[in-house]
Amino acid sequence: MSQELSPEQIQQALQGISVPPQPQIMVDLQMEQYMPDPDLEVIARLISQDPGLSGALLKIVNSPYYGLSNKIASIQRAVNLLGSRSIINLINAQSIKGEMADETIVTLNRFWDTAQDVAMTSLTLAKRTGGQAVDESYALGLFHDCGIPLMIKRFPNYMAVLERAYANAGPEQRVVDTENAELNTNHAVVGYYTAKSWRLPEHVTNAIANHHNALAIFSDESTRNSQLKNLLAILKMAEHICASHRVLGNEAEDHEWNAIGHLVLDYVGLSDYDFENLRENIRELGAN
């Protein structure tokens, strides 16, 4: 994507939108992560200094996805269980909230919950389908829509535009096409540059940029873009399982999945029956 847009186009796409900087705790944690032997005790100590982050970390580690018999109350134990990469992803997500006004955060409560559901569902799908990029799948699930709160901050009518975008979605119209027509930018572009500025892996940022371009990507039967396809296949299945179309688009029907679902399932080698069983198993974990 960075090769396709000129600096002028980038400036226009982000006009009036403030990409939140990485919080200092994120910088400190990244410095520790890049050490030859990251010290999980140092990471736990840094997290413990932030009550909001500590609470979010414990909420995730005690979720049904991890199946722990006893609840964890120790930040150190939670860090040991999740690992440094998942911790970094969690902190990035929290920093988006830090950019929002209180009333916007309340308005977006369903958005935050859905982002976490999609992330955890992506992680589970990556494990169960034999995907190698478990951490990357989790990161993509968490951040693929991170441009939405920033778009709401910039455009007061954005949620109405997004609902129209989901209603219009299908084989001939992408979700982002409606946003581009009405706002001259879209949440995938804004999310891409936010994730890029936070130094997320390039293949994850590319997937964020293309997460509403799945029909074209999966219609290409060549071996190109295999890493992108692997990530997007997990994400699109997770979005459908978590009913993102209802939460974000207020749509009863998942038009995007109807257009791409058969291509995604063919790519990962799942029948409709297999996918339905997988979806029910994941829902039993408590995501929906």
- Helix H segments across 49-186? 51-61, 75-82, 84-98, 102-107, 109-128, 134-143, 147-154, 158-168, 175-183
pLDDT value for 14: 67
Residue 273 has what pLDDT? 95
Q: Mean pLDDT by 10-residue block, N- to C-terminus, for the chain (288 residues)?
A: 51 64 65 75 81 73 76 83 75 60 56 78 86 76 85 88 94 94 92 79 90 94 87 96 91 95 95 93 70
pLDDT for 9: 59
Rg over CA atoms, the chain: 18
For each of the domains in the chain, give its residue range(s) and CATH number, in order of start: 14-99 (no CATH), 102-288 (1.10.3210.10)
Distance (Å, rounded) from C-alpha 204 to C-alpha 232? Answer: 10
Model pLDDT, residue 26: 65
